[in-house]
Amino acid sequence: MFDSTQLFCIIDDFFLKFESVYWNFLKQNLKCLRIRPAQLSISEIVFIAIWYKHSHFNNFKAFFTALRHNYFHLFKSLPCYQRMIYLINTHQLALHALHFALMKDQQSPYLWIDSTTLAVCKNQRIKRHKSLAAIATRGKSSMGWFFGCKLHVLMNQSGEILSTALSNGHTADIKMVEQLVKGMTAKLYADRGYISHELKSKLRVQDIDLITYHRKNMKSIQLSKADEYHLKQRNKIETLFSLLKGAYNLVTTRARSVAGYLAGIYASLCAYQICHQNKPMIRIMEISA
């Protein structure tokens, strides 16, 4: 059962400590930005963005209309729809900060890595697409060509997200690995798309053991029973992507600005991190001496 009060308390507890730092950051780094004071607090703005991703609505206008009609008593004052969109887009950095804070202290000796495509439009509309042309590019996955971005995720055995990164659609997965695992020590399980002797050597210096299957034209690698078992459990990260896309509306073709697009992605990630109860878990096989 969804508890909106519990969700708001988690968000508000974070912003009680973070809000002053956040406003100082905006003043120092966005000197030309003039933000009109809102009647909603940062906590309430982020709360509404995440609540929408957790709801059964796939259209924010319908969700916000229902919110104003059924839950107006939870807020001191709710703005109009256009103003609410502006507030969420303006404070997408606050959503990013919350997402980053939820990933802290999730270290694990066993990690799984993969990426998923975030198409911003159908392939037939690529030449007409303009709103996200600054960050979206053509790329190819196992499912074919797409136009958009990629989300790279690092997951532990509890189904928790440890690290994420966004890239253009054409960026190779192996180029994002060092950024994702920076400061970590673990066994890293990945698919054949991450095969690279150079990357494996670089990660070994950091005490990260990259484990993948070998290709047919490569010399076979003898894996331990535990490593082979953990590699087979890599499908759990695909389950995570399915949850993000199916239950939390990660992919959208309705974004009209880069800020709005990023706000939607981080709201989906936060909704999964805070609200999802049955995360895809992996049983660890201990290595016998």
Bridge partners (DSSP) of residue 140 are 145
Is the model's pLDDT at 3 over the cut of 60?
Answer: yes
150 contacts 129 by C-beta, under 8 angstroms: no
Tens digit of pLDDT for each residue in 240-256? Answer: 999 999 999 999 988 89
HSE-CB for 18 with a 13 A CA cutoff: 19
Give the chain's mean pLDDT: 90
- Pairwise CA distance, residues 153 & 163, whole Å: 6
Rounded percentage of the chain residues whose pLDDT exceeds 90: 72
Q: What is the mean pLDDT of residues 203-231?
A: 86
The domain 107-255: what is its CATH number? 3.30.420
Rounded percentage of the chain residues whose pLDDT exceeds 70: 95
Is the model's pLDDT at 30 over the cut of 90?
Answer: no
The pLDDT value recorded for residue 24 is 83
pLDDT band at 281 (very low <50, low <70, confident <90, very high): very high
pLDDT band at 216 (very low <50, low <70, confident <90, very high): confident
Tens digit of pLDDT for each residue in 255-276? Answer: 899 999 999 999 999 999 999 9
HSE-CB for 104 with a 13 A CA cutoff: 7
Is the model's pLDDT at 219 over the cut of 90?
Answer: no
Which pair of tokens denotes residue 59? Answer: 């259209």
Closest CA relative to residue 90, chosen from 22, 177, 151, 142:
22
Which pair of tokens denotes residue 76? Answer: 């001191």
Q: Side chain identity at 5, as an amino acid letter?
A: T
Which pair of tokens denotes residue 92? Answer: 């997408």
Domain ranges of the chain: 4-101, 107-255
- Pairwise CA distance, residues 257 & 90, whole Å: 11
The pLDDT value recorded for residue 12 is 95
Return the higher-pLDDT residue of 1 and 172.
Answer: 172
The pLDDT value recorded for residue 289 is 41
The pLDDT value recorded for residue 34 is 61
Is the model's pLDDT at 224 over the cut of 90?
Answer: no
The pLDDT value recorded for residue 254 is 86
Is the model's pLDDT at 203 over the cut of 90?
Answer: yes
Tens digit of pLDDT for each residue in 129-188? Answer: 999 999 999 999 888 899 999 999 999 999 999 999 999 999 999 999 999 999 899 999
Q: What is the mean pLDDT of residues 267-287?
A: 91
- Pairwise CA distance, residues 173 & 278, whole Å: 28
Is the model's pLDDT at 282 over the cut of 90?
Answer: yes
Closest CA relative to residue 135, chosen from 255, 256, 252, 258:
258
Is the model's pLDDT at 57 over the cut of 50?
Answer: yes
The residue with tokens 């939870």 is 74
For 187, the 3-state DSSP assignment is strand
Distances (CA, A) of 113 to 28, 159, 173, 209, 219: 35, 12, 10, 12, 23
113 contacts 154 by C-beta, under 8 angstroms: yes
The pLDDT value recorded for residue 202 is 93
| DSSP sequence for 57-108 | -S-HHHHHHHHHHHSGGGSS----HHHHHHHHHHTHHHHHHHHHHHHTT---
